Amino acid sequence: MLIKNLCIPKINLTTITEDATLKETLDILEEDGYRCVPVLDNKSEKFIGNIYKMHIYRHAANGGDLSDNVTSLIKNQTKHISINSSFFEVFFTIKELPYIAVLNEQGDFYGILTHGKLLGVLQDAWNIDSGSYVLTIATGEVPGSLTKITKVIDKYTTIASLITMDSQVEDYIRRVLVTLPAGITETEKDAIVTALDRKGLRVIEVEHLKMKK
């Protein structure tokens, strides 16, 4: 996963330096319309954390002084990734954050990776723009299930994308999501579903991607 190609570089971001006051920070947040921004050191090199507009307002509502330093309210100090991080590290680090800070090889602040960009990667993996139908196939922990699925579908068409999802709740049922390429007709899709069913591969859901737009 090439994070450098996905993240917004520092030069295109609004950032706050650690010597700013809460009042100065709030003015910038209000002017630019952001709910939070990265806080950097005085050289604008090291990531210190994030400052959220809501925390500043809560601080003021509770009688806090807006002349206090911005570092008194920073959050997510340890929430950052390397520019060389893997997809899974990014996915499990960003979670509830609006964005994750990205550091370069020297540990300096490089930019941010937003939730929207990450969802775009997943959308590309799902082949939403160039796919037709998504078949959700339920399989047990049976060796060779993926091989059977691909062999069946290969008789009719290519596979645009394939994603597996394991459920640890429902008796270890594995769900395999197969995106069929554009141009597949409903008749061809039905034939594929029937062929999978004959092989004991139950299609529990069919989504038409074009209907989602």
Co-location of 13 and 110 in the same domain: yes
Taking residues 4-24, report their average pLDDT.
94
Q: What's the pLDDT tens digit per position in 151-184?
A: 999 999 999 888 887 655 555 567 888 999 988 9
Q: What's the pLDDT tens digit per position in 39-67?
A: 999 999 999 999 999 999 999 999 999 99
Co-location of 143 and 99 in the same domain: no
CA nearest neighbour of 125 among 86, 94, 163, 93: 163
pLDDT at 54: 96
Co-location of 35 and 111 in the same domain: yes
For residue 89, is it within any domain? yes
Taking residues 118-135, report their average pLDDT.
74
- To the nearest 10 degrees (0 to 180), the angle between helices 53-61 and 22-32 is 130
How far is CA 1 from each of CA 28, 88, 99, 113, rounded to the nearest angstrom? 33, 10, 17, 12
State the pLDDT confidence band at 129, using cuts at 50, 70 and 90: low
For residue 213, is it within any domain? no
pLDDT at 172: 57
For residue 7, is it within any domain? yes
State the pLDDT confidence band at 1, using cuts at 50, 70 and 90: low
User: Which among 89, 120, 151 is the end of a domain?
Assistant: 120
DSSP H stretches of helix in 100-185: 115-126, 145-154
Q: Output the domain CATH number for residue 43.
A: 3.10.580.10
Co-location of 27 and 115 in the same domain: yes
Structural domain for 134, as ranges: 128-207
Co-location of 105 and 27 in the same domain: yes
Beta-strand pair 131-139/174-181:
antiparallel
- Please state the separation of Cα 73 from the chain's center in Å: 26
Q: For the chain, what is the domain count?
A: 2
For residue 62, is it within any domain? yes
State the pLDDT confidence band at 211, using cuts at 50, 70 and 90: low
pLDDT at 88: 73
Q: Are 68 and 60 in contact (CB under 8 A)?
A: no
Distance in angstroms (rounded) separating the CA atoms of residues 59 and 71: 13
pTM: 0.69
pLDDT at 153: 95
Q: Output the domain CATH number for residue 159.
A: 3.30.70.260
CA nearest neighbour of 17 among 42, 35, 50, 47: 42
Residue 82's H or E segment, with its range, is strand 80-82
Co-location of 73 and 37 in the same domain: yes
Co-location of 43 and 101 in the same domain: yes
Q: What's the pLDDT tens digit per position in 68-115?
A: 999 999 999 999 999 988 877 787 788 778 899 999 999 999 999 998
State the pLDDT confidence band at 127, using cuts at 50, 70 and 90: low
